[in-house]
Amino acid sequence: MQLDFHTLDVFTPSRFHGNPLAVVSGADVLDAAAMQAIAREFNLSETVFVARPANPAHTARVRIFTPRRELPFAGHPTIGTAAFLAYADHGDGAEREAIVTLEEEIGLIRAGVTITPGKPLHAAFDAPKLATETGAPDRREDLAAAVGLMPGDIGFDNHRPTVFSAGVPYIFVPVRGLAALSRAQPVESLWRRGRFAEIGAAYLYCRETRDPANSFAARMFSPEFGMIEDPATGSAAAAFAGVAARFEALGGQRRVLAIEQGFDMGRPSLISLEMELVAGRLERVRIGGHCVIVSKGALTV
């Protein structure tokens, strides 16, 4: 038996940048063990398996796997899958906007896709959960050691380490600037203790950016997920909305932050984080970005 698959680069308008994604169609015939084995074979940060929806009014049922585990929700798979399904349905013959509804483990996600002939696909979705703080991180000294930095590299302005989740939890580690961000490397033996062992993913960020038009630069390490570093992490950006609401003087009712990621991997990515606030509290979070289809093939199962 053969199943069609496509790969896309997500959170980028250019091929061979951004975060690669594999999308496997016709996955109704696969069980979870087969999906996990295929995800290990692709060895990308995530592989998506597309099946018939439980509700025929929806577009598709999807399951998301890293090389080591299934995730209830992830941002770049949602962006890439929504864009691919809209393109597969409508093609690129004319400019149009489409709505894609995906049944993910976390719940139903509604994404808007823009198709413009001759240009990269663009998709955006409302985060299925608002960011909430989930306890305290480890001590600053332990955090620094686990990501190969010195304690003095941790923190800037009023930002301090926190733990937030918008469906997937992350340890958020503010660092002084791009130099510290580029020096960081996970020390895997130190990830088997404290909150690193529990959560398995750390998102390092700083205010200094390569492009002054952008808001933050970031890196995401997750050796326990089967990937040392992720080029672009939409679920972390959704949770980062909680960090921004906590430490930034956002003002107003709507803010859009542009987050650079993946530059130290040679996979430059850009994530749009749109937040709506009421009296300083998050009311809505939307993640968006471009993507491009890179390849297609048949998978023998």
Q: Which two tokens stand for residue 26?
A: 């016709």
Q: What percent helix, strand, coil does the chain show, rounded to 5?
A: 25, 40, 35
Q: What is the distance, to the nearest Å, from the Cα of residue 39 to the centroid of all Cα atoms in its chain?
A: 17
What Rg value do the Cα atoms of the chain yield, rounded?
19
46 flagged as catalytic: yes
Long-range contact pairs involving 38-43 (C-beta distance under 8 Å, separation at least 24):
38/65, 38/299, 38/301, 39/65, 39/66, 39/67, 40/67, 40/68, 40/226, 42/67, 43/67
Q: Which of 41, 46, 224, 276 is catalytic?
A: 46
Q: Strand pairing of 47-51 and 19-24?
A: parallel
Whether the CB-CB separation of 221 and 186 falls below 8 Å is answered with: yes
Q: Write out the catalytic residue numbers.
A: 46
